[in-house]
Amino acid sequence: MVDLSQYLPILLFLFIALGLSVAFVFLPMGVSRLTGAHQPTAEKLSEYECGFPAFEDSRGQFDVRFYLVAILFIVFDLEAAFLFPWAVSLDLTGWAGWTTMMIFLAELAVGLAYAWKVGALEWE
């Protein structure tokens, strides 16, 4: 079984984050209740868009180019994730391990060069 006491700092961070987020949400609500007049009516609580009822859903469609950025991010994110075990186990894998990672990096460098060449990294 794993010794969980080493994760105590993370637990403390979680508690602090929870406390702060609760405070940021409920403190302004409480302060405004106590200091201002609180008399809600149906008209006051309805959404307001220059006097009209809302035309459409607030959820707008994204450009497909965001997806390309996300895919490129995920590929290089995985590349970075593969580097961690490689870096700590180099004395066990030796030159073979070093060479295999260099070939892997070269494979993805080809992809990066292609993305750069066709202009996938540019927004406009």
Nearer to other proteins, 34 or 95 (CB): 95
Tell me the per-residue interface mask from 51 to 90 with other proteins, x by CB under 8 A, - otherwise.
--------xxxx-xxxxx-xxxxxx-xxx-xx-xxxxxxx
Shortest spacing between CB 81 and other proteins, in angstroms: 6
Nearer to other proteins, 19 or 94 (CB): 94
Write the CB contacts of 79 (distance below 8 Å, at least 6 apart in sequence).
104, 105, 108
* φ, ψ for residue 46, nearest 5 deg: -75, 155
Specify the DSSP element, H or E, that contains 105. helix 90-118
Give, in degrees to the nearest 5, the angle at Cα 77 between 104 and 6. 110
Shortest spacing between CB 28 and other proteins, in angstroms: 23
Q: Could you say which residues in the range 9-28 bind other proteins, by CB under 8 A?
A: none
Question: Would you give the end-to-end CA distance of the chain in angstroms?
Answer: 53
Does 8 bind other proteins (CB under 8 A)? Our answer is no
CA nearest neighbour of 83 among 97, 70, 63, 71: 97
Shortest spacing between CB 124 and other proteins, in angstroms: 6
Tokens of 119: 């202009």
Binding site residues, other proteins, CB under 8 A = 1-2, 4, 7, 59-62, 64-68, 70-75, 77-79, 81-82, 84-90, 92-93, 96-97, 100-101, 103-104, 107-108, 110-111, 114-115, 118-120, 122, 124
